Structure 1
Amino acid sequence: MITPERIMAWAIPGFFVLIGVELLVAKWRGRDVYYSNDAINSLGLGMLSQIVGVFTKLFAIGIYGWFATHLAPWTLPANSIWVWISGLLLYDLLYYWLHRLGHEVNVLWAAHVVHHQSESYNLTTALRQTGSGFLLGWIAYLPMALLGYPTEVFAVVALIDLLYQFWVHTEVVGRLGWFDRVFCSPSNHRAHHAVNDRYLDRNYGGILIIWDRIFGSFVEENDDDPPIYGTRAPLQSWNPLWANVEVYWAMLKDSWHARSWLDKLRVWIKPPGWRPADVAARFPKAEFDIDHARYSPSISRVLNIYCIVQFGLLLLLGVNFLDAAPKMALVPAAAYAVYLMYSLWALGFLLEGRRIGVWLELLRTAGTAALVAISGRWFGVEHLDARIAVAIAAVFGAGAALLLLVASYERRHADSIRPALG
């Protein structure tokens, strides 16, 4: 039987193969489409989204299942090919409206903004996903439940719709002729991610771009006005936790400071960027400059290599977590999740060249080495094989020692980089 888990198990290796192909093609064409700090941040946010999803994926599925079971007047047959085809088309239409509202309603933008924060556009951007979309996104798909589409159909077509959108996040695929007129394509989606006036808030389609043509939100990519990526309130951070809460925090502050009770509510439901007049007057923000410099704090090559290596190890731990967590009790699974979130948080500070990042990372690496060596345990595993425990302690101990050497190098070469880890 086809299940979302099986589909994802097939897809994940393909993601990284295609990322490697894209990188090679871009290099061959002499184009810089990848920056290690941005790619780490995007992949880390994707990893964070998957971690959160372990604890929340049953939330949306459970609500959908309840509506489909208790409120739908009938149940469509899951063994009918037409149910699957119509289900995918209906899901894509509902996705279009959720996506559009995600750009038009501030509280929905607060979740979706994570996907748009990167100032690069490549296949790692596709994996840059929110950790809070589960809170309200389920509402958009209730019509599908009420029409009787079985839960398993909903779960699979949702994943198919999501996976399709992976390949359109690239600059190395150009125009595709008739395909661009019917389907969401790299050209169409590049326009969607752009902050240029021409492209802003257009091309919401997931698989089909015809929804945008029908509902008046389509724009064609223009070679005379190449897309510039990011958001109009640049994140300016490699902190994955802050990336997920920045807009929520801004809304909370504006709602708190607004004098009118109506404005306190409007902050959440108005379009992104809207602020009460009194709040904007007392707490002004700088105008958006489309020509602003790409966010990329300077760090040494050795520190950058350290971050890449450590992130590679974190990806392996993330895969282990996704495999192990569903079989674990809640407390150790949650502890493992917090550990991984902390690790991504610390790595973000290192990529920003901040001194606190060194201390947070030393606490992580040295602390992990010491705890595993002393306890002989890992998350959800009461008694590690002695050889595995020694290997884990050695890897993290070596990481701590290497970081000390890197930090020493940074201090000695501070003038050639920037104030060291300041």
Structure 2
Amino acid sequence: MNVNPIVLSIPIFFILIGIELLVERFTHKKLYTLPDTIANLSCGITQQLSGLFLKIFAIGAYQFLFEHFAFLTLERTWLYWLVLFLLVDLAYYWAHRMSHEVNLFWGGHVVHHQSEEYNLSVALRQSSLQVVWTFAFSLPIAFFGFRTLDFALISALNTLYQFWIHTETIGKMGWFEYIFNTPSHHRVHHGRDPKYIDKNHAGSLIIWDRMFGTFQAEEEKPTYGITKPINSWNAAYANVSHYAEMGNDLKRIPRWSDRLRYLFKKPGWLPEYLGGYRPAPAVDKATYRKYETTAGLSLNLYVLFQYILCLTGTALFLFSQKNPDGTDRFTTTENLFITILISVVVVNCGVLFEGKTWVRWAEWLRIILYPALLVAATYLLNWPAWLYGAGAVYFVVSAGWFYTLQKHEKIQLV
């Protein structure tokens, strides 16, 4: 069983999202849209799957430094845990801040800010690549003798704390606001309005923003999202969109020295001879419109059906990473294969809402291929025989449903 606190908290995440949906229902506020929610959850899924391969950055490097270069031996007292918490939170602040202020790092964080909604599902919208750029900010903690598992635990709890602050259903919280990060503070952080850009980078404690000059109180309601919306529900594209834009900019920059500067300058920077820095534009709230796509009830239900199956399978896969004795249950090749299968589902589910022409063929291929793979795995790995029937039922239901959607033009292709 996977003992990662974040993975163990998955059921709690969905319970709280369900409660927020009930609040939406009874208050008649528009807090969620299905395509946006699925895109958010899909980015969370791809981040957890990529973490199976990238954990060496966050944990492996820390363990190496702790084993070979720690210059203190510390006992686990209450002071040990307090100092560790403060150091982890401080490291998070600087990693998070630099993820906004360094173009290359922003490409690994921008995914979390792409949603134009603000609800608990946005907390799960995470980048698959962010750890590559931010893991080093926490490594100095290893030199002080804080054990690797303790560091991993506090880091996970710091991440878990930030889940509940992604909501519009909680207002300002009085004295609590002076010390801790809150929904009000974090709504500012997700705002694309110029006064809110690059503010409130806190993890658990807002005191770092107050100390280092990046604090901004919530005043008018923020406009959520990024200054140049990606206008897509595709989780794979969400993770590479900023780097694609960077590639286009780099082609325009003739000097190699300026290309290098471009990587580490703030997002929006260009050399003066190309126009210079491009600041965040003001948002005209009278004309601003969120990205939306239209989908009928039949398509919504079809995608929801496929997605629930995908979520269930992904949760079982993540929970089953470890054997009872603590060894890895799957090989790297098996993890990669299952990751690809899940990633195809989440990409298709998002793009079905966009009506791209290619997704029709991609979905048909998936509907045919996945039951065949299940049957083959059942035969080769001696899985229970009832899975043969499950594969057949899945194929009949999915193929019939998807054919009906196309026949009656419930999917508008573009």
TM-score by length of structure 2 reads: 0.92
Partner of 2:56: 58
Is 2:229 the counterpart of 1:234?
A: yes
Task: Give per-residue Cα distances to partners, 1:94-151, cap 9 Å, x unaligned.
Answer: 1111111111001111011010000000000000011001212111012211222111
Give the distance between the partners of 1:110 and 1:6, measured in 2 at CA: 26
Is 2:287 the counterpart of 1:295?
A: no
Return closer, same or farther for 1:256/1:146 CA change in 2, 3 Å cut-off.
Answer: farther
Give the distance between the partners of 1:4 and 1:101, measured in 2 at CA: 31
Is 2:215 the counterpart of 1:213?
A: no
Aligned residues: 405
Return closer, same or farther for 1:344/1:113 CA change in 2, 3 Å cut-off.
Answer: same
Contact 2:188–2:199, Cα closer than 8 Å, also in 1: yes
The structural deviation recorded for 1:355 is 2.6
The counterpart of 2:197, out of the listed 185, 197, 200, is 200
Secondary structure in 1 aligned to 2:409? helix
Partner of 2:388: 389
RMSD of aligned residue pairs (Cα, Å): 2.2
Partner of 2:23: 25
Task: Give per-residue Cα distances to partners, 1:149-172, cap 9 Å, x unaligned.
Answer: 111111001001000000000000
Identity of aligned residues (%): 37
Give the distance between the partners of 2:125 and 2:377, measured in 1 at CA: 35
Secondary structure in 2 aligned to 1:327? coil
Partner of 2:345: 343
Partner of 2:329: 327
Partner of 1:74: 72
Give the distance between the partners of 1:289 and 1:363, measured in 2 at CA: 42
- Which has the bigger relative contact order, CA under 8 A and spacing at least 6? 2
Give the distance between the partners of 2:356 and 2:297, measured in 1 at CA: 15
Secondary structure in 1 aligned to 2:382? coil
Return closer, same or farther for 1:216/1:256 CA change in 2, 3 Å cut-off.
Answer: same
Secondary structure in 2 aligned to 1:377? helix
Contact 1:192–1:201, Cα closer than 8 Å, also in 2: yes
Give the distance between the partners of 2:152 and 2:349, measured in 1 at CA: 33
The structural deviation recorded for 1:377 is 3.0
AA at the equivalent of 1:17: I
Secondary structure in 2 aligned to 1:39? helix
AA at the equivalent of 1:404: Y
The structural deviation recorded for 1:277 is 4.7
Q: Which runs of 4+ in 1 moved over 6 A?
A: 284-288
The structural deviation recorded for 1:35 is 0.4
Partner of 2:168: 171
Is 2:3 the counterpart of 1:11?
A: no
Return closer, same or farther for 1:146/1:185 CA change in 2, 3 Å cut-off.
Answer: same
Give the distance between the partners of 1:366 and 1:153, measured in 2 at CA: 46
The counterpart of 1:264, out of the listed 240, 252, 259, is 259
Return closer, same or farther for 1:275/1:397 CA change in 2, 3 Å cut-off.
Answer: farther
Give the distance between the partners of 2:164 and 2:25, measured in 1 at CA: 18
The counterpart of 1:46, out of the listed 44, 47, 67, is 44
Secondary structure in 2 aligned to 1:5? coil
Partner of 1:421: 413
Q: Which moved more, 1:107-116 or 1:402-411?
A: 402-411
Return closer, same or farther for 1:376/1:329 CA change in 2, 3 Å cut-off.
Answer: closer
Return closer, same or farther for 1:286/1:362 CA change in 2, 3 Å cut-off.
Answer: farther
Partner of 2:324: none
Return closer, same or farther for 1:342/1:288 CA change in 2, 3 Å cut-off.
Answer: farther
Contact 1:175–1:187, Cα closer than 8 Å, also in 2: yes
The counterpart of 1:144, out of the listed 130, 141, 146, is 141
TM-score by length of structure 1 reads: 0.91
The counterpart of 1:103, out of the listed 100, 105, 115, is 100
Q: Which moved more, 1:354-363 or 1:231-240?
A: 354-363
Return closer, same or farther for 1:331/1:116 CA change in 2, 3 Å cut-off.
Answer: same
Task: Give per-residue Cα distances to partners, 1:32-73, cap 9 Å, x unaligned.
Answer: 000000000000100110001111213320101111221221
Contact 2:7–2:319, Cα closer than 8 Å, also in 1: no
Secondary structure in 2 aligned to 1:410? coil
AA at the equivalent of 2:236: L
Return closer, same or farther for 1:47/1:6 CA change in 2, 3 Å cut-off.
Answer: closer
Secondary structure in 2 aligned to 1:118? coil
The structural deviation recorded for 1:6 is 5.3
Give the distance between the partners of 2:33 and 2:275, measured in 1 at CA: 35
Task: Give per-residue Cα distances to partners, 1:183-239, cap 9 Å, x unaligned.
Answer: 1000110011001122111111110111111111111111xx211100001111111
Contact 1:4–1:159, Cα closer than 8 Å, also in 2: no
Contact 2:194–2:280, Cα closer than 8 Å, also in 1: no
Give the distance between the partners of 1:364 and 1:294, measured in 2 at CA: 31
Return closer, same or farther for 1:279/1:301 CA change in 2, 3 Å cut-off.
Answer: farther
Give the distance between the partners of 2:237 and 2:279, measured in 1 at CA: 19
Task: Give per-residue Cα distances to partners, 1:395-416, cap 9 Å, x unaligned.
Answer: 24311221111111226xx8xx
Give the distance between the partners of 1:401 and 1:358, measured in 2 at CA: 14
Give the distance between the partners of 2:362 and 2:355, measured in 1 at CA: 12
Give the distance between the partners of 2:33 and 2:61, measured in 1 at CA: 40
Partner of 1:417: none
Give the distance between the partners of 2:176 and 2:91, measured in 1 at CA: 21
Give the distance between the partners of 1:286 and 1:196, measured in 2 at CA: 8
Give the distance between the partners of 1:348 and 1:318, measured in 2 at CA: 16
The counterpart of 1:121, out of the listed 98, 118, 123, is 118
The counterpart of 2:128, out of the listed 126, 131, 152, is 131
Secondary structure in 1 aligned to 2:14? helix
AA at the equivalent of 2:344: Y
Return closer, same or farther for 1:75/1:23 CA change in 2, 3 Å cut-off.
Answer: same
